[in-house]
Amino acid sequence: MSIKDELVAELHDAMRSGDRRRREVVREIETQVSRKRAEAGFVGQVDDDLYVEIMGNFAKKMDKAANEYEGLGERGADMAAKLRWEVDYLARWLPTKLSEVETRKVVREAIAELEADDPKMAGFVVGHLMKSMGKDLDGGLVNRVVREELESG
């Protein structure tokens, strides 16, 4: 069953059960897919890869927004919780990324392989990792860990 088919089933189930949160997330993803398809120069298929790309971008934005709401303390707690729920809900369709511990291990190996010993080489190390393992890595996490590792020597 394709992701599109799963989302259609999810939407129908959410509407029948009155699950507003799930309904809103599925509709937002469908809206984003429609916008992408309507963009000038769009070529390709509306397939699982497109849905994964759209969901990944959406989850990344919601995660960032949730962090900002959490920074507001109690005032932003409800909205942060809502956004975290959306990210968790979409996670089942998204490829899993390496954890921070696993990422740190890969970063250390790359630093040793590339013989990087200067914090100014961070971009080179990040670029190497993202080119070779980009689908498995969270770019922001890789960037932070590379800089931490190079600065600590």
pLDDT tens readout for residues 71-114: 999 999 999 999 999 999 999 999 888 888 999 999 999 999 99
Q: What pTM, to 2 d.p., does this model score? A: 0.70
| Average confidence score pLDDT of the chain | 92
What residues does CATH 1.10.10.410 cover in the chain?
100-152
Query: Of 7-21, 64-78, 115-129, which one has max mean pLDDT?
Result: 7-21
34 has a pLDDT exceeding 90 = yes
- The second-level CATH assignment, the architecture, of 3-93 is Orthogonal Bundle (1.10)
Q: What pLDDT does residue 76 have?
A: 92
Q: Which long-range contacts (CB under 8 A, 24 or more apart) does 95-102 make?
A: 95/52, 95/135, 95/136, 97/136, 97/137, 97/138, 97/141, 98/136, 98/137, 98/138, 100/141, 100/145
CATH class belonging to 100-152: mainly alpha
